[in-house]
Amino acid sequence: MTVDPSPDLRPAAGEDLSAIVQLERVSFDDPWSAASLAGELGSGGRIVRVAEASGEVVGWSSTSVVGDTADLLRVAVAPTARRHGLGRVLVEDVLRGAASAGAERVLLEVAATNTAARALYAATGFDQIHRRRRYYADGTDALVLERVLA
């Protein structure tokens, strides 16, 4: 599938849950459960968005905003849609949404070994501010990244 670099971005809805569950399963070694994902969709403290191309959900993001700080919790892109700029589109959408919600900065954690995600975050203006040793279940370190919003 060739994905339009400007897919339709919209708030996630209940009917998107099964697609988001599938994206989780193919994107993460330790995916969130369907119940947790349903909670994300129902949480008033979250900005949950999906990217849709040709009527199919091909990406999703979840962000929490508390006060002046946003936490980018998840970004996932379908394997068939990767390497077409969709990850960047989703991250930029998160940045706009966080700023609109009053955040002055966005934080996230990424596995130190996830070079593709680290490159994406560097390209979208994130800087490393901390390292959490053995953060993930497999013992991998997490890098804490920050993007200050203008």
Domain contains 32:
yes
Q: Stretch 48-76: mean pLDDT, rounded?
A: 95
What is this structure's pTM? 0.91
The CATH number given to whatever domain includes residue 35 is 3.40.630.30
Asked if residue 3 belongs to a domain, the reply is no
Rg of the chain over Cα atoms, rounded to whole angstroms, equals: 15
Assess if residue 53 is contained within a domain: yes
Give 82's strand partners: none
The answer to whether the beta carbons of residues 3 and 53 sit under 8 Å apart is: yes
Q: Which residue has the tokens 């013992």?
A: 139
Task: Give the rounded distance of the alpha carbon of 135 from its chain centre.
Answer: 18
CB 87 within 8 A of CB 120: yes
Report the number of distinct structural domains present in the chain: 1
Average pLDDT of span 121-145:
96
Residues 20-45 have a mean pLDDT of 91
Name the token pair of 74: 């998840």
Query: Is residue 31 assigned to a domain?
Result: yes
Tokens standing for 115?
């070079």
Query: What local confidence, expressed as pLDDT, does residue 1 receive?
Result: 45
Residue 5 pLDDT class (50, 70, 90 cuts)? low
Range of the domain at 48: 8-148
In a domain, residue 2? The reply is no
Q: How do residues 90-120 score in pLDDT, each as one tens digit?
A: 999 999 999 999 999 999 999 999 999 999 9
* Average pLDDT taken over every residue of the chain: 93
